[in-house]
Amino acid sequence: MPTAPYNWISCQIGAREHYTIPRALHQQGQLAHLITDAWVSPQSPLNFLPKSVLANLRERYHPDLELASVSAFTSSLIRFELTQRLQKNTGWNRVIARNQWFQQQTIKTLTRLSDQITHPPILFSYSYAALEIFRFAKQQGWYTILGQIDPGLWEEKIVTQEYQRYPQYRADWQPAPPEYWQSWREECTLADAIVVNSNWSRQLLEKTGIEPKKIHIIPLVYTPPQAASNFVRTSPELFSQERPLRVLFLGQVILRKGIAAVLDAVQQLEGYPVEFLIVGSVQIEIPSHFQNHPQIRWLGHVNRSETAQYYQMADVFLFPTISDGFGLTQLEAQAWKLPIIASRSCGEVVVDGENGWILEEVSGNKIADLIQSILRCPKSLEYLTSHSPYSLSSLSEHTLIEKLFENLLSCMI
């Protein structure tokens, strides 16, 4: 176990959780280095390209880390992705190739940094792209923490059952190859501590045989935008065909997120004053009846910066996930004072009857019943809007980051 002072190296692909981990460490003066796949600062020439070009890369930056030591492989990433497209490499092959590419680039950086390190650091890396990084770290005598992004192998078993249950959606989803899970198990073995975001994740990891004493629960933290803090939500006294109840589903349109139950609910609510806003990339085959359904607005993929408008226009947020490590969109919805309908198979944000409703089972019947109860009593939304047991929207960013940092340190005790 490391001794103070703590110096952390944080490794991550993408802008996961808005760079919460490195931001927490940097605010506490403990981040030695952030290593990430892409970093597009305001001065980057990539910002001068048309907005339609490399749109996702434009969000690979956070002003809180402006003065942090950051290594990124932006040019290499662009070349990698172009090569993958030219080779028509897709699915798990592409995911695994990207994870391996990132680890190779990271180890080059760590090799260079190791000559400058006088005190063994704590290395934090996210699951599925950590094995080679951890092997290198262990050779140096460093302490390792694995950020587990989902509930792991047992979640895949649950999702497999869902795809078997709904073959009509003819998705091209495939379970991960055995070597993917073998690498993951080795990551867990090499990790001195494993961070999960919910009790649900902890339960499923323990089911796969992960050592319980290694697992530490650190719920996600989220800093609401200022616009959300000032937002005043209003609901009509009665919903009608002219002003229907707007139900927002925001996320990947896949069976794991519970979309089959959502569409079952749509069918049961035909003719009711309800409109479903479905925001996210569609990765299953949607039957034509639903593609052209008058009560569904298919809005497709949007960038993170564009989601606020949908939280604002909705009356209730629907999060019927089959399994999720946490579900950050729950916190985003709550920040916009949006009542939530959520399953139990995710982070514990919703307190039933206080800031939303818990689905005892993810089914079209249960979703439709809850929505009908809202239609019968629209005033229930007003009550739920004013209650926020999770209370993130009332906490300052400093408090959130400080809390997260304290929890990270607890992983080493």
Same domain, 212 and 250: no
Same domain, 191 and 42: yes
Decide if pLDDT at 264 tops 90: yes
Same domain, 29 and 121: yes
Same domain, 207 and 294: no
In a domain, 201, yes or no: yes
The pLDDT-based confidence of 118 (bands split at 50, 70, 90) is confident
Same domain, 135 and 278: no
Domain range holding 40? 8-223+396-410
Q: Give the CATH number, domain containing residue 249.
A: 3.40.50.2000
Same domain, 124 and 253: no
For 131-186, write each residue's pLDDT tens digit: 999 999 999 999 999 999 999 999 999 999 999 999 888 777 889 999 999 999 99
Same domain, 233 and 326: yes
Same domain, 279 and 181: no
In a domain, 1, yes or no: no
Decide if pLDDT at 3 tops 50: no
Mean pLDDT of 328-343: 93
Same domain, 219 and 335: no
In a domain, 81, yes or no: yes
Contact predicate 263/291, CB 8 Å:
no
Same domain, 386 and 369: yes
